[in-house]
Amino acid sequence: MDVALDLLSWALLLLGGFFAVAGGIGVIRLPDFYTRLHASGVTDTGAAYLILAGLMIQGGLTIITVKLALIGFFMFFSNPTSTYALAAAAHRSGIEPLPRAGGANTPEPVENTLPEPLDVTQKRPGSAPPSQP
């Protein structure tokens, strides 16, 4: 049983490490601030949860597991909040996202197919004159 728990915890630790490295590569390779922020926010949170889960399995039922669970609880609220705060501050300071680069998966722009709005000030043929107060 100990071997199975060790294998599971090491698998979670390695998977969390892989997500952390993949997020770091995404931060380096992605083109603008917002995509980099998305890559770091998602992979950092996922990597941290996987690593914490692996450490909890390694710790067993001790006070260490409770402390790791509290760290995970606080991260559940602080990571998305800090990512949102960074994105909002960047948007307010004028950092614009890059326009879509295009490519094979880019949808065609939708043309305006709505009819022109009616001008209510013009008299339509066959209609009564507008009432006046």
* pLDDT tens-digit series, residues 5-61: 999 999 999 999 999 999 899 888 888 888 888 888 888 889 999 999 999 999 888
Considering only residues 130 and 61, tell me which one the structure prediction assigns the higher pLDDT: 61
Closest CA to 45 of 86, 87, 73: 73
What's this model's pTM, rounded to 2 decimal places?
0.67
Closest CA to 40 of 82, 10, 96, 73: 82
Reported as a pLDDT band with limits 50, 70 and 90, residue 103 is low
Q: What is the mean pLDDT of residues 95-118?
A: 65
Question: Residue ranges of the domains in the chain?
Answer: 2-92
* pLDDT tens-digit series, residues 107-121: 566 666 666 666 666
Looking at residue 107, its pLDDT comes to 58
Phi-psi region of 72 (alpha: psi -120 to 50; beta: other; left: phi over 0): alpha
